[in-house]
Structure 1
Amino acid sequence: MSYQLNIEMFGKIKKAKVEVSPLTFFVGDNNSGKSYLLTLLWGLQTQNLVWVLTRNIEKIDKKHYQDVYHRIKKFITETKKMGAEISFDAKEFEALINQLLMENRNMFVRKLFNSESMSIGKLSIEIIKQNKIILRMHEVEHETSCLVDYKGSSAGVRAQGNEPFVNVLLAFIVQRILNGGLNFLYRNIYFPASRTGFFLAKDSINQTGREKTFTLQLDDEEEKIEPFTMPILNFINRLDADNIDRKGKRYEEICDFIENEVVHGKVVRGDDTQNKVEYIPSSQDIALPMRTSSAIVTELVPLLIILKSSRQIKQLCYEEPEMCLHPELQLQMARILIQLANLKTNVIATTHSDIILQHVNNMCRLAEFKKPDELMERYGLTKKDCIRFKDVSVYQFTNEGEYSSVKKLEPDEDGFHIPTFTNALLNILEQTTDIQEYEEQED
């Protein structure tokens, strides 16, 4: 993400400023807004949702983007030579983006959460990384269009109906900046905390039926049943047979690690007629259906399915990755998250696991050593298990009455110190000490 996200009055969150790193953690109190913010970040990286934020671009006062508007308009009306180009800095579009965010913010979160009751007080960004946007004249089927190049990827844009071409281009550029490029839905994954239940029940709910029943239509005033948010719908649909590409190899080593070291068995698919997911324990050859498999298996099978079937995941939003995991396996999950981040998959996770954060601290410190080979060999680690402090962000969420605060934590030489974990451990230590002392007094 090339910008800092600023929000106010969003659910329990009074105010927050967040910049996503390759590995980002949200820690803190229950019911403090962590999942709300995680859902919002997922939505901003989802192409078929972010267009909502560019609605009514023609209503925005041009004083906020007068220069880029006139430069683009002049370029597309006066340039005749194919291949001619013009460049901008992404920062030049910041004022326009923030006006659009304020104009469409409530519609966006209502669509994202599938609820008319959702609202957000303020939504804005601050562009912090310099990235060039290049427009290049292009011809497709005798129609003049523009190629928009941003962060190394290009996409063609053509006029749409009666919409002024300059507005079409501006809306497309805004979307590219917000979602970091063309980020298709299957490259942005959200793992909800209740993923096991959704996974086991997904085949009982017809996909077409769930889309019609559980998706809020922007222009539909009819009251609907709205139990699922958009990222949860995406998660369920992503597990369906016709949405799964079997050619993914990028995450093969991580999948092997999960099967060999965590679930101790293979996850396979049945025949093409049913295409059911089954689990074969390492100790036997008989495949077990998911409903008879252990909690650790059903917890991690969705991750395995998506990793095995994906060429590349740009962003992985993970609620409580420690769910159902023994402390030793929480450490292994921390390894998995780091390895994903090192494969250029941005990982954003909510967590209550001090073990996961301590392992991340350890791997950050290990990455700073000049000669870590002996330690790495002792613990069976490789360079893929290490990550640097600069690539990790941790945000503490704290309930403060009606609202919660969000604070970015900075590491010291020992790593990140997490108040929410430290305070809980100190409280239980104090209680243990008091009980021991009280027992001694009775004796």
Structure 2
Amino acid sequence: MKPREQDWTLHIERLGAMRQADIALAPLMCFVGDNNSGKSYISMLLWGLLSQGMTLFPNRPSDGKAYVACEQWMMQNQNRDITMDASAEQRYIAWFNEILAQKKIKLMEKIFNYPIHIGKIEIEDFHRHHHLKVQWKSDAQRFGFSNDKNCVKFPVKDRYTRDDLLRMNSYLCWNLLTAGMTAPFFTNLLQGRRQGEPVYMPASRTGFMLTYSQLLASSLQANFGEDEGDRGERGRLTLPYIDFLQLITKFEEKEKPQEQKLVRFLEENMAQGAFHVKKDFLPQIRYETDQGVSLPLYVTSSVITEIAPILLLLKSGISFNAIIIEEPEAHLHPELQRRMARFIVQLMNSGKTVLITTHSDTIMQHINNMLKLRHHPRKAELMEKWGYDEADLLEARKVHVYEFDHHTSAETSVRDLKVYDDGIVIPTFNDALADFNEEIYAVQEDS
């Protein structure tokens, strides 16, 4: 697994019932806690920032203080190779935060397809493990390209206009923030091709998989085909949900050796069969059992329709660097929840950034087990007994768990729970289980 170069925290104020939240990026992020406490709000916001953030950059140079500082740095260092230091990096983070402050309303309405209020959103605690190198090449054909995440290259010119500088600064800023996590600032011109944008798997996956053809037609018409005054709220979906529907249209089987182990795990341990796609105007998806029986999705179990989009994503030629999965435990028996948790860990260890929202103590217990097993004195023995390998184990530094709790007041509190080598304590889970156990003992005693 190649480590992500950059770390930063998404600072949020006054979003829904949340007064404040600070979400630090990690290879595996788990949102746990109460229903209706804001987990999906922040998940969608993070997805929107990574997938739509590049569209926020201005089309014209600004005279704002933060942007001018970036422009001056670029002018001072043009046509000479240089390694950015932390001070230079912070200029660009300050500029992006200035953009967020100016365009937060536009961003929220674009993500949610509704004017959701947010008080503040900004990037904090930015850090790169290796400072970014900026090089100037005479044979460069465009204003920004990079063959690796630690180097950005620009073309040599005798004179750069302010528009030139804006394009270079925008590319450099986006690269600093998101290289290796989402699509590059300048993407391939092939329309509809995904370049690494994050994938959002909604909690209602089964419903989408069974009705995607009707939903896609109606949602696109409602969101893009009618005047604002005509459509009202009829047929609206949030942008992550629309993106998921569009993702389904790109399902087409393609061999990807680097993801074959993950595919085999899902097919053998959860689906007990395989999925096949026949390309048409919309893909025709069928499930084939281990006994060779081919079935349309609408006559399969909910387990199959839940797993289908994840498995088809891995079997398709779809590029993605991060994935958000809402309620991966949906419709799964506890044993299958445990296997899903194992898949999530393996997916993260394959190099993807993974965020889940969950109410499953089974999934979180498996994560605890994999944290403990990594340093267990009988590690080799236990791994052999349960069939684990290194791709199943977790390092505490790669896991962040956020607990959403709104039982104590009208506001939701978002707490960054401590993750140790011997696991995580989740108060809202523990309190609910303790209360349930007390009820069980009381009923048993009185019977």
TM-score range, shorter chain: 0.7 to 0.9
Partner Cα separation in structure 2 for residue 245 and residue 109 of structure 1: 34
Contact 1:6/1:17 (<8 A) preserved: yes
Partner Cα separation in structure 1 for residue 45 and residue 176 of structure 2: 16
Matched, 1:292 2:299: yes
CA deviation string 1:166-223 (max 9, x = no partner): 222222222223333572345311100001111111122455x643532599xx8656
Partner Cα separation in structure 2 for residue 136 and residue 182 of structure 1: 22
Counterpart of 1:122?
120
Q: 1:259 to 1:389 in 2, by over 3 A?
A: same
Counterpart of 1:174?
173
In the TM superposition, what is the alpha-carbon distance from 1:11 to its structure 2 partner?
1.8
In the TM superposition, what is the alpha-carbon distance from 1:86 to its structure 2 partner?
3.3
Matched, 1:69 2:71: yes
State the AA in 1 paired with 2:72.
H
Matches within 5 A, 1:405-424: 405-412=413-420, 414-424=422-432
Matches within 5 A, 1:23-38: 23-38=28-43
Partner Cα separation in structure 2 for residue 223 and residue 246 of structure 1: 41
2:82 aligned to 54, 72, 86, which one? 86
Partner Cα separation in structure 2 for residue 86 and residue 413 of structure 1: 39
State the AA in 1 paired with 2:26.
S
Partner Cα separation in structure 1 for residue 155 and residue 220 of structure 2: 29
State the AA in 2 paired with 1:122.
K
Counterpart of 1:199?
209
Tell me the matched-pair count.
Answer: 422
State the AA in 2 paired with 1:7.
I
CA deviation string 1:29-66 (max 9, x = no partner): 000000111111111221xx11243237744522x355
Q: 1:394 to 1:192 in 2, by over 3 A?
A: same
State the AA in 1 paired with 2:355.
I
1:190 aligned to 197, 200, 205, which one? 200
Contact 1:57/1:171 (<8 A) preserved: no
CA-atom RMSD, angstroms?
A: 3.0
In the TM superposition, what is the alpha-carbon distance from 1:355 to its structure 2 partner?
0.8
Partner Cα separation in structure 1 for residue 26 and residue 101 of structure 2: 25
Counterpart of 2:189?
none
Query: Could you tell which deviates more after superposition, 33-42 or 399-408?
Result: 399-408
1:152 aligned to 150, 153, 171, which one? 150
Matched residue SS, 2:117: coil
Counterpart of 1:401?
409
CA deviation string 1:267-294 (max 9, x = no partner): 1224768741111112x32201100001
Counterpart of 1:134?
133
Give the TM-score normalised by structure 1: 0.86
Matched, 1:269 2:274: no
In the TM superposition, what is the alpha-carbon distance from 1:150 to its structure 2 partner?
6.9
Partner Cα separation in structure 1 for residue 44 and residue 216 of structure 2: 24
Partner Cα separation in structure 2 for residue 86 and residue 167 of structure 1: 19
Partner Cα separation in structure 2 for residue 222 and residue 177 of structure 1: 40
Contact 1:27/1:395 (<8 A) preserved: yes
Partner Cα separation in structure 1 for residue 362 and residue 285 of structure 2: 30
Counterpart of 1:18?
23
CA deviation string 1:330-359 (max 9, x = no partner): 100010000001001011000001111111
Partner Cα separation in structure 2 for residue 205 and residue 413 of structure 1: 44
State the AA in 1 paired with 2:249.
D
Partner Cα separation in structure 2 for residue 144 and residue 290 of structure 1: 46
Partner Cα separation in structure 2 for residue 136 and residue 299 of structure 1: 46
Query: Could you tell which deviates more after superposition, 309-318 or 349-358?
Result: 309-318
Q: 1:100 to 1:320 in 2, by over 3 A?
A: same
In the TM superposition, what is the alpha-carbon distance from 1:390 to its structure 2 partner?
1.2
Contact 2:252/2:279 (<8 A) preserved: no
Q: 1:146 to 1:177 in 2, by over 3 A?
A: closer
Contact 1:249/1:311 (<8 A) preserved: no
State the AA in 2 paired with 1:365.
K
Query: Could you tell which deviates more after superposition, 427-436 or 251-260?
Result: 427-436
Structure 2 unmatched ranges of 5 or more: 1-5, 184-193
CA deviation string 1:74-99 (max 9, x = no partner): 444xx4xxxx4233233332222221
State the AA in 2 paired with 1:129.
R
CA deviation string 1:238-297 (max 9, x = no partner): 1114x6462323221111111111121121224768741111112x32201100001100
Identical amino acids, percent of aligned pairs: 30
CA deviation string 1:104-139 (max 9, x = no partner): 111111111122x21210011121334433333345
CA deviation string 1:4-48 (max 9, x = no partner): 1100011222101111211110000000000111111111221xx
Partner Cα separation in structure 1 for residue 284 and residue 253 of structure 2: 15
Query: Could you tell which deviates more after superposition, 367-376 or 422-431?
Result: 367-376
In the TM superposition, what is the alpha-carbon distance from 1:396 to its structure 2 partner?
0.4
Matched residue SS, 1:332: helix
State the AA in 2 paired with 1:324.
H
Q: 1:251 to 1:181 in 2, by over 3 A?
A: closer
Q: 1:414 to 1:131 in 2, by over 3 A?
A: closer
Matched, 1:367 2:374: yes
In the TM superposition, what is the alpha-carbon distance from 1:370 to its structure 2 partner?
5.8
Matched, 1:353 2:341: no
1:40 aligned to 41, 45, 51, which one? 45
Q: 1:147 to 1:378 in 2, by over 3 A?
A: closer
Partner Cα separation in structure 2 for residue 92 and residue 272 of structure 1: 49
Q: 1:108 to 1:244 in 2, by over 3 A?
A: farther
Partner Cα separation in structure 1 for residue 305 and residue 54 of structure 2: 35
1:317 aligned to 315, 321, 324, which one? 324
Partner Cα separation in structure 1 for residue 280 and residue 59 of structure 2: 46
